[in-house]
Amino acid sequence: MKLLEDCITTQVSMDKKSLESVLSKFEKVEIKKNEYVLQSGKVCREMAFIATGYLRMYDIADGKEISFWIGSSGKFITSVSSFVFQTQNFWNIQAITDCTLYVISREKHMELSKTEPKWLEFDNLLLAHSFALLEKSMFSQLHTTAKERFENLMEEDPELFQHVPLHYIASMIGIAPESLSRLRKNLVNPIS
């Protein structure tokens, strides 16, 4: 719970009573590798904070799994549009490893938004961050090479490569697994 508390308090200043009120709305949930937090076609009714482990958001297109995003410790994950508008969700959210999550229901989330102004401020920052990530991902796919996307990911989140199967990472950055293997090999053994 300390990681969740730190995540919130580094973004917004919140008095102790308000912070306790916010944290009390989250429920600790343990999920096993390969279990689903959410499946495509369902309505998303929860938002999760990842305390430990890795989750991936993916869909299946033309028979292939396409990873959209991989979430790790210290990050929130949900299907934003389904959670907010209560519409059918497009994504599968699945555990890549065993995970510890802190989950808040949509009802408790909405209640906090009405009673705790600092939670609403934090929630607005989360939403803005989600759009910024989407924008960055779209720009990256359009304007950077596979090598640049790989290098950026290695710089931003090197631990991902130690805990997540490479084919998920390759899919997320839009390259074939074989290309990712070559890029990794060239990083370790650069040609002089």
Q: What is the pLDDT of residues 152-171, one digit of tens each?
A: 998 999 999 999 999 999 99
Asked if 104 contacts 25 with a C-beta cutoff of 8 angstroms, the reply is yes
Asked if 56 contacts 71 with a C-beta cutoff of 8 angstroms, the reply is yes
Second-level CATH architecture of 2-143: Sandwich (2.60)
pLDDT at 35 over 50: yes
pLDDT of residue 192: 42
Residue 101 pairs in a beta bridge with 29, 50
Average pLDDT of the residues in 2-31: 96
**Lowest-confidence pick of 41-55, 80-94, 133-147:** 133-147
Instruction: Give the tens place of pLDDT for each residue, 110-139.
Output: 999 999 999 999 999 999 988 888 888 888
- In Å, what is the CA distance from 154 to each residue of 22, 35, 64, 118, 149? 34, 27, 24, 34, 9
H/E stretch holding 133: helix 117-143
Average pLDDT of the residues in 38-67: 95
**Listed residue (152, 161, 174) closest to 68, CA to CA:** 174
pLDDT at 26 over 50: yes
pLDDT of residue 186: 81
Mean pLDDT over each residue of the chain, to the nearest integer:
92
pLDDT of residue 141: 84
